[in-house]
Every structure is written in C-alpha cells, then in structure tokens.
Structure 1
Amino acid sequence: MATGNASMASYRPGVLIGNWSEDLSLQEERWKDFMHKRERGELLIQKLKKLQESVLKKIQLSVSKDGFVHFGDTVMLLNPDKKPLVQNYSGVHGSLTLAVNLDEISLYSTKPSLAPRGLSAVESVNPVGRNTFCVLSVDGSAEGEPIKFGQNFALGTTGGFSDQMLYLASDHKSFMRFSKKSCLQQVVLTDELSQQTFWQAAFLDPQLRLEYEGFPVPANSEVIITHYFTNRSLAVPRKFWTRSYFGKEHEVICHTYLDSHKAEEDKNYWLIVTGNPGDENTTMFDRPNPQPGWVRKNEFSKEK
C-alpha cells in the first residue's frame, strides 16, 4: 500500500515528468507573444475597444452658412421616411442614414491594412464615426466651394477605420459582383480614388433637372445622388436587411427606381444633412421647421 501511495505521489503536477521542458518553453513563448501583442495593441479586447471608439465617436457636422453643400463638409446622407400608400407595406419605416458596415472586418486578422468594405443603412440619425462622410473634390475645385448639380464629387469616411480614407464606390453588376440580398449593383468602400468613386447630385424633379444643372446643391433638401460611372442612383430598397454587430441594418445599393411618370421613387431620395448652427449637438434634420427658401431665390435670380 505504501508503495502504491508513493507511486501515485510521483504523478503530482509539480513533478517534472514527460515533455516538461517543451511545455515550459511553450508557456514562455505564449507569455512573450501576449506581452508583444499588448504593447502593439493587437489583443482582441484592445481591437474591440479601438473599433468602438472610432465607430461610436460623436462627430460634429459642418454648418452651412449659405444653405448649400460645400467641398470639405462633413455630412450625413439620410434617406427620409416616406409613408407608403399601400397598407400591407413590408418595408421598414423611419429615416435611415448611410453607414459603414463592419461585418466584413475580422478582429482576429493581423493585417494592418484591414478595413471595412461594405455599407448599409441604419436607423440612427445621430452623427457618429460610422455614418458621417466628407465631401471631396475630384476636379480641382477648392475646399469651401459649393457643389453644383451635375458636378462630380467623392464621399470619404471620417471614422478612422484604417490608416487612410476610404471612398464610397460602385461598379457594374457582374456574375461575381452584386449585392447579397437584392442581387443588384452593390455599393462598397475602396481605398483607391477613381471614376468608380465619382458621384453627382441631381435635382429631385426630373422636369426641372436640366434647368437647375450648374446651380449649387442645397443642404438638408431631397436630392438624387447618382453614380457617375454607371449612371445608377444610390438607393435603399427598405425590404432587405441583415444582422450586424449593432443589430438590424438595411441594404444599400445602386439602382434607379422609377415610377409610372419616369420619376425616381423615394428609395432614391437623399438629404445631405449638415450641422445645426444654433446647437452643436444637433443637426438641421432635428430642427422642427426648416426654412430652405433656396428654390425661390434661384428662380428669382433666373428671372432677373
């Protein structure tokens, strides 16, 4: 019995048996790897914290003093809520803002250039890192100049998801390239500025579209945003959604929805939202009674 007890005692964890030297070396390597990743900010919890800080960081929108959108402005793109006439409408109600979709990010990847590539529409209308964009010049126009109807511009991210700015882009639908839910032309983010990242604003009424070509684009008013390279308009179908890190989000595509009068439907309506000059914590969309007045001014200037 004593011999058996001595034999059992020899197998306690503190006894160096088996490949004890290799196990000890492996533990030391794991500890060094942990300390190295912590110093470089590559631990999973550090990545999550950094991502949350950039995504949910409150962004102050640019204030438009003249009521127009300018190059260099930080804005939100908002698809307004339109009450459908049909009773059995299956789409989502409420205003939606264009936002960076983070589902394609792998927090376990060690690639330094890893960046989000997808976009979605979210129900939050508060300006934060993931749903605010910077209006960029692509034709040499100076920062601060108003954007005109029919003029090319680009939209860059402001959330700091990667080392460089990402641009809103699209391309023709193909066998390998299409949106996941609607199977139409997809909208993505890219780090390369090209014709696929050029966009134009068009006047809402197609009968007056040519008449307003070259006039400044008003802020906080409904416009059509069209992709220059494919001539299809930015849209939210409101019937296709996915689950993300932040809950239910809705698909954004490039597709022109036309009604019986050959006019764009509300799926293609967008407001370029700017900041509220009277309150830094709110936007012009939050104001109860906006006073655009820009159409009358332009018409008056034309008559003169």
Structure 2
Amino acid sequence: MAAYRAGVLIGNWEEDACLEEDRLRDFMHKRERGELLIQKISKLQDNLFKKIQLSVSKDGFVHFGDTVMLLHPDSKSWGERCPGACDSLTLAINLDEISLYSAESLQAPCGVSAVESVDPVGRNAFCILSVDGGAVGEPIRFGQNFRLGTTGGFSDQMLYLASDHKSFIRFAKKSHLQQVFLTDKLSYLTCWQATFLDPQLRLEHEGFPVPANSKMIITHCHTNRSLAVPRNFWTWSYFGKEYEVICHTYLDSHKAEEDKNYWVIVTGNPSNEDGTMIDRPHPHPSGIRKNEFCEET
C-alpha cells in the first residue's frame, strides 16, 4: 500500500481552495473600492493632517466665521513665545474605534485631547460659529454665546465642541470629571462663552470684543464650568499619548481661575499664510500684553 506524500490532497481541500479564492476576490474588491482598513486609515490621516490656513485678524479681534486654533499655554513661557509650551485642542481618534471610521467622514461622538503642536492642521483647526444670529465677520464679545466647529479636514462634515454634566455613565476616563467631546448634533450643550481673564475687570469688559492671541477663559454655557487641561492626566489615541481635556473650573486662593483654564484663540500670520501669530516676535519686551491678566507671585 502506497504511503501518503506531501502532494497528496486530503480532507476538505476543495472547500479550502474555494474559500481562499473567495477571500482573495473579496480582498481585491475592497482594495478597488478603497475599503481596506489600511486605506481608510491612510485617507483619514491625510485629512486630519491636512494643512489649514487660519483666518487673519485685521483689527486684532476674533470674528464669527474665523478659522482659528485653541491653544492652552504654559503661563511661565507664553510671554517668551515658546511654541513647545503650548497644547492645541485637538480631535482625538479612539484606538478601539479606528475600524469604524470611513474614509469620507468622522465617527460622532468623537473625543478631544490636547497635543504639543502649534501647526494648524485638520484635526486642530476650529471655526467660530454664531448661535444668536451674529453675522459672519462680526467680532464675538465677552459673554456672547458661540460654537466651535471642526471639520477634521473633511469638507462636508462638521463636529461641534460640547460638554454635559457628569453622571455615572458619562465622565472623563482619567480624571472622572466633566467630559468634553465632539458631536454632530446642535444643542445648548455646544454653546460656549469667552470670559475676560481678570475677575476684577470682568464686568467692565462684558460686551467688549474678544481680542485674538490673548489669554482668556472659555466657559461652557450649560454647566458654567471652564474648559481645562490639567496636564496630569493622559489619554491614548490612535496618534499616541495626549493630554486629557475636561470641563472644570480650577480656582486659586483669590477665587481666580488657575492657568489650567487659560486659553488663547490663535489667528493666522498676515506675513506668512502657513503660519500663526505665535510665530511672530512678541511686541512687548516684558512678554506681557496690556489686556492680559498677570498673577502676582
């Protein structure tokens, strides 16, 4: 009786061969349509890291319709214009949900984080949107509601920065404080206000235009808590280790917000269309702007 050799087909070899052909045809079909996971991730990265040109402020104020970046500055080195000390508010991609994203759109709701980057790209560029009918081009004012929308580099989709009260099932994963996220649904949860930095001068500046490229507090209208980056809580996204962004008001002994709540709405550099205003030399040698609040040490 002849012994079996390696070339002898045994078992369900015909079924295995058919399944392999089906898998190959399915792979080829998905590749032609751009539906492979590696193709979707590549397209997603191209959009998220697409260079964005920020709006240039001719009068020094922030306007409805402006495309800006939101930077969380390090108070010790912001006056020295140290870009590495700033964290930009950024769209975050969850590692567990990367397979759910398509090449043409983002998955809502979506997380946000803060990264040490000051280059305006799709994932960290935001548009200032009106809530109460303010016309495009009009300056937003302290105490006025506005929305922050991002496209993530996709032209036909916009997500809005939002927050809501903490609950047993809804909270920030690391700090367990109030969560901040991006949603495609418009509601009062997506409304924010700019607040003047110095609490003692806050009432006097109510209704005044919001200056660009200066420190301020950004407050969530529904919960009355301020946007913050504690810098001691990390979160993992598809792009690596990033700071957690939350809504929580940190107050010092003088009942003034701490630097964890400081934000700067950054506009474009008029002398360099790919740059931002933080790339320009600081106009004040002391490193302090006239409209900024400086804490005494």
- Scaled to the shorter chain, the TM-score interval is 0.7 to 0.9
Change (3 A) 1:34 1:76: same
Give unmatched runs, 5+ long, in structure 1.
85-92, 297-304
Give unmatched runs, 5+ long, in structure 2.
78-83, 293-297
Alignment partner, residue 126 of structure 1: 119
Please provide the CA RMSD for this pair.
2.4
Alignment partner, residue 106 of structure 1: 97
* Cα distance in 1 between the residues matched to 2:121 and 2:52: 5
TM-score by length of 2: 0.87
Q: Is the 8 A contact 1:114 1:162 kept in 2?
A: no
* Cα distance in 2 between the residues matched to 1:188 and 1:110: 17
* Cα distance in 1 between the residues matched to 2:156 and 2:71: 26
- 2:130 counterpart letter in structure 1: S
* Cα distance in 1 between the residues matched to 2:123 and 2:16: 45
- 1:246 counterpart letter in structure 2: F
Note the alpha carbon deviations across 1:192-228, whole angstroms, 9 max, x for none.
0100000000111111111111111110011110000
- 2:213 counterpart letter in structure 1: N
Look up the SS of the partner of 2:39 in the other structure. Answer: helix
- 2:32 counterpart letter in structure 1: E
* Cα distance in 1 between the residues matched to 2:196 and 2:255: 14
Provide runs of 4+ in structure 1 moved above 6 Å: 110-113, 291-294
* Cα distance in 2 between the residues matched to 1:182 and 1:281: 35
Give the drift of 1:160: 3.5
Q: Equivalent pairs: percent with the same residue?
A: 70
Q: Is the 8 A contact 1:237 1:267 kept in 2?
A: yes
1:58 aligns with 2:51: yes
Alignment partner, residue 17 of structure 2: 24
- 1:102 counterpart letter in structure 2: I
Of 165-174 and 133-142, more deviation after overlay is shown by: 133-142
* Cα distance in 2 between the residues matched to 1:129 and 1:74: 11
Give the drift of 1:99: 0.5
Of 174-183 and 113-122, more deviation after overlay is shown by: 113-122
Note the alpha carbon deviations across 1:63-95, whole angstroms, 9 max, x for none.
1111111111110001111239xxxxxxxx821
Larger Rg: 1
TM-score by length of 1: 0.85
Equivalent of 1:215 in 186, 208, 231 = 208
Q: Is the 8 A contact 1:218 1:294 kept in 2?
A: no
* Cα distance in 2 between the residues matched to 1:151 and 1:239: 31
Equivalent of 2:86 in 89, 92, 95 = 95
Equivalent of 2:240 in 240, 247, 255 = 247
- 1:44 counterpart letter in structure 2: L
Of 41-50 and 184-193, more deviation after overlay is shown by: 41-50
Alignment partner, residue 88 of structure 1: none
Aligned pairs for 1:157-168 within 5 A:
157-160=150-153, 164-168=157-161
Highest relative contact order (Cα 8 Å, sep 6+), 1 or 2? 2
- 1:123 counterpart letter in structure 2: E
Aligned pairs for 1:74-223 within 5 A:
74-83=67-76, 94-104=85-95, 106-109=97-100, 114-115=107-108, 117-160=110-153, 164-223=157-216
Give the drift of 1:116: 6.0
* Cα distance in 2 between the residues matched to 1:107 and 1:232: 30
Look up the SS of the partner of 2:250 in the other structure. Answer: coil
- 2:4 counterpart letter in structure 1: M
Q: Is the 8 A contact 2:142 2:209 kept in 1?
A: yes
Give the drift of 1:117: 1.2
Of 37-46 and 256-265, more deviation after overlay is shown by: 37-46
Q: How many residues align?
A: 281
* Cα distance in 1 between the residues matched to 2:193 and 2:88: 18
Change (3 A) 1:67 1:105: farther
- 2:241 counterpart letter in structure 1: K
